[in-house]
Amino acid sequence: MSLLDKYYTQEHRIFRESARRFFEKEVAPHADEWENDGIVSREIWKKFGEQGFLCPWIPEEYGGVGADFLYSVILAEESVHGNCTGFFFPLHSDVVVPYIYNFGNEEQKKRWLPGCITGDIITAIAMTEPGTGSDLGAIRTTAIKDGDHYIINGQKTFVSNGILCDLVIVAAKTDPKADPPYAGVSLIVVEDGTPGFEKGRNLEKVGLHSQDTAEMAFVDCKVPVENLLGEEGKGFYYLMEELQQERIVCAIGSQIGAETALDLTIDYTKSREAFGRPISRFQYISFELAKMATEVELGRTFVDSLIIEHMEGKEIVKKASMAKYWICEMFNRVAGKCLQFHGGYGYMEEYPIARIFRDARVQTIYAGTSEIMLLIISRSMGL
């Protein structure tokens, strides 16, 4: 029994069935095509929005339904039926759009949130630069105020949803001389089509092939001051404030991936025979499956407890960092072992485990590497 079971209502269960049907009908049949294309269709975003699946947590006054975080969890869980992890709706719904809702003013919310719900606006966030990774204070992109505009210059890379996005939240320095450096970072919304804003190539990655990940360039990009999110110089603090949910979302995705990989492998080892019996009957394989099942169960209990605490409004930065570290690392261990137990077939693209294996690798890298998570945890311990 899951810790979350008592929180699910009949409405949640109806929503889950609706989501499952959508992924099976509208996503799964196109997953291979999108993997080959290196991008999902814009149409799927629109269809997803039409069903009320984008940003269901947004209040009714902006076009949402004011749903709780469990609806986002359900959508993440049911997305496995689509076999298309490159459809990055959780990034849009539960990572990027919350910046607009939590730090935007009323005019900005009314301007952008309705489109984020319908799928007319796809969002991204641009933090990483070619020469910087986890050190946000070292970013070089600048946004210098010139009258009633900011002039943005700089480069960003590894921007998820970077090709399809209609607006991107850019971390830039409005005060390049600030001390400490991160005190000069602000968040500015740049809309697609703004002169001086250029989307680069769709990057070729080890995994997540259908996820459009892009480079971006800003060359004297002129953006109205009205596009500043919150206050100048508060961008770093806003980013830190939202990372709790982002890391929980990552942990949920990895947990679902590990569960799926294990289920596929149990089924495979029961049907695959060697030396006259199912390979699941060999002691080594059965013991390894038992070990993985234990880790997956521990991960589920941990992530469910975090979901509950997060919904209760508790500050659980340390625990969220622990989950991001341990569950994402566990997913990679499980995916690797599960592929091994599929033998040569595990290395074939036609078997789902192959896609799971290569898509798993990035989980320990984005949204904060495992090493950064360990740094956060150790500092919270007073070390």
Q: In the chain, what are the domains? A: 5-121 (1.10.540.10), 124-232 (2.40.110.10), 237-380 (1.20.140.10)
Residue 24 pLDDT grade (very low, low, confident, very high; cuts 50, 70, 90): very high
Average pLDDT score, the chain: 95
Asked if pLDDT for residue 14 goes beyond 70, the answer is yes
Asked if pLDDT for residue 134 goes beyond 80, the answer is no
Provide mean pLDDT across the span 196-206.
96
Q: Are 200 and 215 in contact (CB under 8 A)?
A: yes
Distance CA 151, CA 145 (A): 6
At 331, list the tokens: 């997913």
At 357, list the tokens: 């294996």
Provide mean pLDDT across the span 107-131.
96
Residue-by-residue DSSP string for 281-318:
GSHHHHHHHHHHHHHHHHHHHHHHHHHHHHHTT---HH
**pLDDT tens digits, one per residue of 284-308:** 999 999 999 999 999 999 999 999 9
Instruction: Find, among 77, 88, 174, 34, the residue nearest to 366 by Cα.
Output: 88
Residue 1 pLDDT grade (very low, low, confident, very high; cuts 50, 70, 90): low
Distance CA 200, CA 204 (A): 12
Asked if pLDDT for residue 136 goes beyond 90, the answer is no
Distance CA 10, CA 79 (A): 20
Q: Tell me what percent of the residues of the chain surpass a pLDDT of 90.
A: 92
Task: Work out the end-to-end distance of the chain between its first and last CA atoms, rounded to an integer number of angstroms.
Answer: 37
Per the rule left: phi > 0, alpha: psi between -120 and 50, beta: everything else, 38 is left
Residue 113 pLDDT grade (very low, low, confident, very high; cuts 50, 70, 90): very high
**pLDDT tens digits, one per residue of 143-172:** 999 999 999 999 999 999 999 999 999 999
Provide mean pLDDT across the span 115-139.
90
pLDDT value at residue 256: 96
Q: Assign 3-class secondary structure to 187-220.
A: EEEEECCCCCEEEEEECCCCCCCCCCEEEEEEEE
Distance CA 124, CA 92 (A): 7
Provide mean pLDDT across the span 188-193.
98
Inter-helix orientation angle 42-50/106-118, to 10°: 100
Query: Looking up tokens 């204070």, which residue turns up?
Result: 137
Question: Full-prediction pTM beyond 0.85?
Answer: yes
Active site residues: 246
pLDDT value at residue 209: 95
Residue 248 pLDDT grade (very low, low, confident, very high; cuts 50, 70, 90): very high
* Alpha helix stretches (DSSP H) within the chain: 10-22, 31-37, 42-50, 69-78, 89-91, 97-103, 106-118, 235-271, 283-311, 317-341, 352-360, 370-380
Torsion of CA 150, 156, 160, 161, to 10 degrees: 50
Instruction: Find, among 336, 302, 308, 304, the residue nearest to 322 by Cα.
Output: 302
